[in-house]
Amino acid sequence: MVEKIVWTTGAETDVKGIVEYLEREWGRYAAERFIAHLFGQLEKLASMPTLARTTTKLNVFFYQLDKKNVIFFKLKEEVLIVLSIYPYKRTTKPVVFFD
- In this prediction, residue 90 carries a pLDDT of 52
Reported pTM: 0.81
Identify the burial level of 7 via C-beta atoms within 10 angstroms of its C-beta, where 0-12 means exposed, 13-18 middle and 19 or more buried. Answer: middle
What the chain holds in terms of domains, given with CATH numbers, is 4-87 (3.30.2310.20)
Give yes or no for residue 98 having a pLDDT over 80: no
pLDDT digits (tens, 9 = 90+) for 9-43: 999 999 999 999 999 999 999 999 999 999 999 99
**DSSP β-bridge partners for residue 72:** 62, 84
- In this prediction, residue 17 carries a pLDDT of 93
Cα separation of 63 and 21, whole Å? Answer: 22
- In this prediction, residue 14 carries a pLDDT of 94
pLDDT exceeding 90 applies to what percent of the chain? 68
Instruction: Find the helix or strand (DSSP H, E) in which 34 lies.
Output: helix 28-47
**DSSP β-bridge partners for residue 61:** 54, 73
